[in-house]
Amino acid sequence: MNDDGACRFQVRYLDRSALVPRVPEGRYVFAPLVTVVVVPRERFSHAVTSLASILRQTPWLEHLVYVDAASPERTRRELEAIAIGRTVTFVRSERYLSPNEARNLGLARVRTPYAVFVDNDVVVEANWLEALIRCAEETGAAIVGPLYRIDVGSRTLVHMAGGDARIVERDGSRVCQERHRHNDVPIETAPQFERESCELVEFHTMLVRTAVLRAIGGLDEALRSVNEHIDVCMTARELGYTVYFEPASVVTYVPAKRLHASDVPYFSLRWSERWNAQTVRHFNAKWRLDAGHRENREMLMFGKVHRCSGLRLVRRRSAETRLGRAPRRAVMFAESVCNRAYTALRG
């Protein structure tokens, strides 16, 4: 940190373009169009696996910005090691960043028509990036999302196949209504998906036209924990842009089965009481929502439940469906007190 509290960012360029393997001409035409920006979502323990999948599945990629928000030193070294032979810009912050802070930091280094944001706990499949670009080029979409899968134990489920997000009037209140299409459907029984317009995709992996991001002033950094994807999709749609789901692009979100000890400080801040409350308060004010409505309050509860389940203090399903039980409420209350103290110490 500087004396005034500002954070210094260290930019490291690894350019070994002479060592990059030759790729088919058809794919190479995409290279000047896109910059991939990888950011931390909530932990660092899957970061190396995630980046390795991007480099392996996208050998033609010329522009990759990796925002490293105070990852452990060992993780930093491993990330830089697997990037040797590729053109990668590492931007390191010595403090933890919210996802939108990290995305804007990466966006500042994008000079291509498209930016594709990828969380550092995502594994991509072959053709993931080509399909996103092709969809944007053929439809004119401002935002494109892939088929999101999720690993849950030994099963792979559909996490989201496009989604819906809109402001509706309910019981005299303005409410944000969100829905993941085909959520939790087993991959084996999922329907044959087709490209279609939708209202919502997620930041696990999201292509956005750079000009649109510049037009809206970048991503809203006051949204520190939840609803960032809802905000950017609804903002773009309000300006007349379209959002598309492209199932030919497939990625898998890999939630932590167990957090590593080095993940806990960032995870606890990322889903902290303070960040959750600030985010929900700002989102409600920005979209003129009734903060007292049950559906709007549930946004705040999501962060608390996710944090407690990630720390293995409660099981997610039990926390959501049996929160009224006294022992569970006591555990979550005690954790909330500790979390407030932790974030206060971090300033």
pLDDT over 80 (residue 116):
yes
3-state DSSP assignment of residue 28: helix
For residue range 292-324, list pLDDT tens digits in order: 877 777 877 887 788 877 777 545 544 444 445
Count the alpha carbons within 13 Å of 328 in the hemisphere toward its beta carbon: 17
Rounded (to 5) percent helix, strand, coil in the chain? 40, 25, 35
pLDDT over 70, % of the chain: 87
Pick 341 or 181 by higher pLDDT. 181
- Does some domain include residue 187? yes
Whether residue 313 is found in the same domain as residue 213: no
Q: Mean of the per-residue pLDDT values for the chain?
A: 87
What is the domain extent for residue 307? 271-345
Is 229 within 8 Å of 125 (Cβ atoms)? no
Sign of CA dihedral 288, 290, 291, 296: negative
Q: Is residue 264 part of a domain?
A: no
Chain centroid to CA 208:
13
Domain boundary among 226, 253, 280: 253
Using an 8 Å Cβ cutoff, are 108 and 213 in contact? no
Provide the 10 A C-beta neighbour count for residue 346: 12
Quick one: 203 and 319 in the same domain? no
134 and 20 part of one domain: yes
pLDDT digits (tens, 9 = 90+) for 133-164: 999 999 999 999 999 999 988 899 999 999 99
* Residue 6 in tokens: 């500002």
Output b/e per residue, 166-183; b: 16+ Cβ within 10 A. Answer: eeeeeeeeebbebebbbe
- Distance of alpha carbon 340 from alpha carbon 328, whole angstroms: 18
On whether residue 330 sits in a domain, the answer given is: yes
Residues 199, 159 share a domain? yes
The predicted structure's pLDDT at residue 170: 86
Q: Are residues 218 and 280 in the same domain?
A: no
Domain boundary pick from 185, 219, 253: 253
Give the rounded percent of residues in the chain with a pLDDT score beyond 90.
Answer: 71
* CA dist., res. 307 & res. 276, Å (int): 10
| Overall number of domains in the chain | 2
Range 230-251 average pLDDT: 98
Q: What are phi and psi of 65, to 5 degrees?
A: -110, 125
Both 230 and 306 in one domain: the answer is no
What are the residues whose beta carbons fall under 8 Å from the beta carbon of 5, sequence distance 6 or more?
none
Q: Please tell me whether residues 239 and 277 are part of one structural domain.
A: no
The reported pLDDT for the residue numbered 15 is: 40
Do 103 and 26 share a domain, yes or no?
yes
Q: Tokens at residue 335, please? A: 């954790």
> What CATH number is attached to the domain comprising 128?
3.90.550.10
Q: What is the pLDDT of residues 256-285, one digit of tens each?
A: 888 999 999 999 999 999 999 999 999 999
Residue 204 within a domain: yes
Shared-domain flag, residues 280 and 247: no
Range of lowest pLDDT (87-96, 168-177, 241-250): 168-177
CA distances from 66 to 38, 116, 119, 129, 147 (A): 5, 12, 10, 16, 23
* 329 shares a domain with 189: no
Report yes or no on 3 lying in a domain: no
What's the confidence (pLDDT) of residue 326?
Answer: 55
The mean-pLDDT minimum among 6-20, 51-65, 132-146 falls in: 6-20
pLDDT over 80 at 27, yes or no = no
